[in-house]
Amino acid sequence: MFMEINHLSLLVNDEKEALKFYIGVLGFEIVVDKIESGKRVLIIAPKGQRKNGLILVKADSEEKKALVGNQASSSAFFTLKTDNCLEEARKLKAKGVDFTQEPVEKYGKISAVFLDIYGNLVQMVEKIRP
């Protein structure tokens, strides 16, 4: 039996501001944007990766609003794979992205951690050794 994660749901206060960050700053693209059963279905993913992505879910209750920016507590909510962590970190910093962990090499990879627009931790990883 084979399984893989397809999408992650990310609670957001406002889809427009989330798109501004994820598309305008991180370079993601919209994969799906449609109305289904009266609700907006909005899926984004890094450019060229249309198979797996983030479903942006508008926090429409007090319970959901309380979780915006803290869906994984003090852990990274998701990890982005890159072929050049140092260069990506430099570009993101130039766009005002706040890093909580500067790029560091250990265990055969370079990794960094930054905050999204809501304060969720996002890890970025570059594998450097097999």
Going from the N-terminus, what domains does the chain have, and what CATH number goes with each? 1-68 (3.10.180.10), 69-130 (3.10.180.10)
User: Which of 53, 50, 41, 99 has the alpha carbon at shortest distance from 80?
Assistant: 53
pTM of structure: 0.92
**3-state percent helix, strand, coil for the chain, nearest multiple of 5:** 20, 45, 40
Instruction: Please report the pLDDT score of residue 130 as a whole number.
Output: 66
Local confidence band at 1 (pLDDT 50, 70, 90 cut-offs)? confident
Which residues lie below 8 Å from residue 85, measured CB to CB, with a gap of 6+?
103, 110, 111, 112, 124, 125, 126
Query: Which comes out higher in pLDDT, residue 45 or 2?
Result: 45
Q: Residue 38 is encoded by which pair of tokens?
A: 């009266």
For the stretch 36-61, pLDDT in tens is 999 999 999 999 887 889 999 999 99
All residues at 6 or more sequence positions from 54 whose CB lies less than 8 Å from its CB, including other chains: 7, 8, 9, 10, 22, 28, 43, 44, 45, 78
